[in-house]
């Protein structure tokens, strides 16, 4: 038997090829009985629609791009996995572009997207500089809908899905204070990046309200490949400081700190308590298991997809701002005093 085409389906269903396409892609209203008739014929012949042909009719490829700062960061990977799973439920595929934190690479990715037919874009909004503003400008020229995850761009109406990083910093400080800790160290990624700036701001404001301040604040380059070496370079600051608790801006930083303390015969949490941020899968696998702030990566990815798909298919975002409350995941790395 010859390969069944959309024309064959349309002929047997006694409708136009456009009606078949709309019935299969839910891109326009089709009477219930007509849609059911079409789907029965599709099932009978085992028809598999061509996305190229569908795109010619609907103007869509059912393809979404995601622009990420680094696929080496576990928290990024967890969001990407969530996005891909949710897109698959809607019949969309995902193209992944890793900038590696490089602005020139980001420009190349924008050019690649400009040459391809993409229905929508999800981007990590962790930078407040020209990078995200160029993404907004270029996609706006082509009328490609965009949703940011993790962060957002000030003075922009681009929708975003993120947790409240400022609140995350606050609840971390409140939690440690509730455990009677009074001396603190912070090991953070560069606070020029807004999400880390907000986490630090929230934490320090709670300390200030309680008449306290951090004993030390160590900032690291926002590159996971450099974290271990930079922590070792600054080990004297970390190990010689008289603190009872250390707040790490990500779980991966906290895990590297666990290694540093273990290598120097300092017990966690008996001698120093340690808390991370993100709740990546590894945080529950290390020893001791890491107390952390839940970043809700799966929820962020799923909500971003639902918002973007609604814009693609119904020309309307569900919400412009979706902010999720963080919460403490209490495990074994923090001790009460």
Residues 100-118: what's their mean pLDDT? 79
Q: With cut-offs at 50, 70 and 90, classify the pLDDT of residue 1.
A: very low
For 240-254, write each residue's pLDDT tens digit. Answer: 999 999 999 999 999
Tell me the angle at which helices 32-45 and 17-25 cross, rounded to the nearest 10 degrees: 90
Report the CATH architecture of 63-163+297-324: 3-Layer(aba) Sandwich (3.40)
pLDDT for position 240: 93
Gap between the Cα atoms of 186 and 263, Å rounded: 20
Structure tokens at 182: 């009074």
6-58 shares its CATH topology with 165-295: no
Domain ranges of the chain: 6-58, 63-163+297-324, 165-295
pLDDT for position 298: 96
Closest by CA position to 122, among listed 163, 76, 165: 76
Estimate to the nearest angstrom the gap between the alpha carbon of 248 and the chain centroid: 19
DSSP string covering 89-109, please? HTT-EEEEEE-TT-HHHHHHH
DSSP string covering 267-293, please? -TTTT-EEE-SB--GGGGTSSSPPBEE
- State the fold for domain 165-295: Rossmann fold (3.40.50)
The bridge status of strand 327-329 relative to strand 292-294 is antiparallel
For 40-83, write each residue's pLDDT tens digit. Answer: 988 888 877 665 455 545 556 788 999 998 999 999 999 999 99
Estimate to the nearest angstrom the gap between the alpha carbon of 107 and the chain centroid: 20
Superfamily of domain 6-58: lambda repressor-like DNA-binding domains (1.10.260.40)
Gap between the Cα atoms of 166 and 316, Å rounded: 29
Res. 97: pLDDT tops 50: yes
215 SS3 class: coil
b/e per residue, 201-221, with b = 16+ CB within 10 A? ebbbebbeeeebebbbbbbbe
């Amino acid at each position: 038997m010859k390969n069944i085409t959309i024309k064959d389906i349309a002929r047997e269903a006694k409708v136009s090829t456009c009606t078949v396409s709309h019935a299969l892609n839910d891109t326009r209203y089709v009477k219930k009985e007509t849609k059911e008739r079409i789907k029965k014929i599709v099932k009978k012949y085992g028809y598999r629609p061509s996305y190229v042909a569908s795109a010619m009719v609907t103007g869509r490829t059912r393809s979404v791009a995601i622009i990420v700062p680094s696929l080496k960061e576990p928290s990024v990977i967890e969001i990407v996995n969530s996005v891909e799973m949710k897109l698959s439920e809607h019949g969309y595929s995902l193209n992944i572009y890793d900038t590696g934190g490089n602005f020139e690479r980001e420009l190349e990715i924008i050019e690649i997207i400009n040459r391809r037919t993409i229905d929508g874009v999800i981007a990590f909004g962790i930078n407040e500089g020209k990078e995200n503003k160029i993404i907004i400008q270029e996609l706006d020229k082509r009328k490609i809908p965009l949703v940011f995850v993790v962060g957002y761009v000030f003075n922009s109406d681009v929708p975003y899905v993120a947790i409240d990083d400022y609140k995350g910093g606050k609840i971390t400080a409140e939690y440690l204070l509730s455990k009677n800790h009074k001396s603190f160290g912070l090991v953070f990624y560069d606070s020029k990046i807004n999400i880390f700036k907000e986490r630090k701001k929230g934490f320090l404001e709670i300390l200030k309200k309680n008449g306290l301040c951090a004993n030390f604040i160590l900032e690291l380059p926002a590159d996971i490949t450099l974290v271990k070496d930079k922590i070792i370079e600054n080990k004297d600051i970390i190990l010689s400081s008289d603190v009872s608790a250390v707040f790490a801006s990500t779980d991966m930083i906290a895990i590297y700190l666990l290694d540093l303390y273990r290598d120097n015969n300092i017990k966690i949490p008996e001698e120093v308590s340690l808390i991370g941020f993100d709740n990546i899968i590894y945080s529950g696998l290390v020893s001791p298991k890491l107390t952390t702030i839940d970043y809700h990566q799966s929820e962020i990815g799923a909500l971003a997809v639902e918002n973007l798909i609604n814009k693609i298919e119904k020309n309307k975002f569900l919400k412009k701002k979706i902010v999720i409350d963080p919460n403490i995941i209490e495990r074994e790395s923090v001790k009460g005093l």
